[in-house]
Structure 1
């Protein structure tokens, strides 16, 4: 067997594996716009988490009027705005992964960021959102009656966990640790 035929055999065996890789060719301006959207959405996500943390602390420790207003506001901030920025971050991240050399599951840091995003959006929809409706009602009722709303101390964890995870994802984007994901042959 000659070197040329060996090279063509290797290329032929790798072709089907390479054909399965989905890759978008994003023009430079589009890629930069998607990257800007991704960074801005992650920044907004972190900002909403910080606002949520302040509102939770206010709802737990303020006077009855402040606690009621914080609880009612928390119900508005922690629902659809958080889901929207999470989905925008997810979609823009997937587009960047498919349109860049890093891929979606080619590098561990990208895969970890993808998992963090999916887990956080899922937690917001399935865990946080259902409790926020009753918290909003409790906040508005407390405002009307002048009493403090009943706010569980467990509400401290969602903004802490979410903001920590978003900062970890941002750190992964900057430092790009770890090597490529190894694929079995």
Structure 2
């Protein structure tokens, strides 16, 4: 009888950096990230359509109602979806081979997402409140242009972030995180 050697399993090599997410957790987070990101982009497009509709309307009541609806969307959808997309993106970056600052496309997307979260809340959101008041008073004022500009910028930046996620350009950075 010949003795057969049983193959020995090699211990996995430890990877530098934080531990990776288990496959099912990564897939779940990726799904949540994609759903919230797509939702965020969809709400940005809806806000743009509403801003264009309000801007084109001659009826102050219609403008006031549209701007009030946009304000609700800003609070109830843009901010929560943006925060969810940002958090899940960072967790995925930390828990996967992509990293948070390891690849240029991820780093640029992170900066863009933070900008789309912060800038509209500091500019478009207050302008929406002013536009509601102005429309209720029957005025056509500059806050309406600020609302439209903010909506256009959000759509452009979020669309560009989506393109980055698809094409993953520019290679690696020197960072290892």
User: Which bracket does the TM-score occupy, shorter chain normalised?
Assistant: 0.7 to 0.9
Within 2, Cα distance between the matches of 1:24 and 1:127?
39
**Counterpart in 1 of 2:158?**
166
Preserved CA contact (<8 Å) 2:134 2:140:
yes
Within 2, Cα distance between the matches of 1:81 and 1:25?
30
**Counterpart in 2 of 1:31?**
26
The structure richer in helix per residue is: 1
Which of 42, 46, 53 does residue 48 from structure 2 map onto? 53
Structure 2 segments unaligned to the other structure (5+ residues): 1-15
TM superposition shift of 1:24 = 3.5
Q: SS state of the match for residue 78, structure 1?
A: helix
Which of 34, 43, 48 does residue 38 from structure 2 map onto? 43
RMSD of aligned alpha carbons: 2.2
**Counterpart in 1 of 2:96?**
100
1:23-172 residue pairs with structure 2 within 5 A? 23-64=18-59, 65-139=61-135, 141=136, 147=138, 150=141, 152-172=144-164
| Structure 1 residues 66 and 148, CA gap change in structure 2 (3 angstroms) | farther
Cα deviation 1:41-67 (Å, max 9, x = unaligned): 111111111111111111111241322
> What's the TM-score once normalised by structure 1's chain length?
0.77
Cα deviation 1:83-112 (Å, max 9, x = unaligned): 111110100000110111010000000000
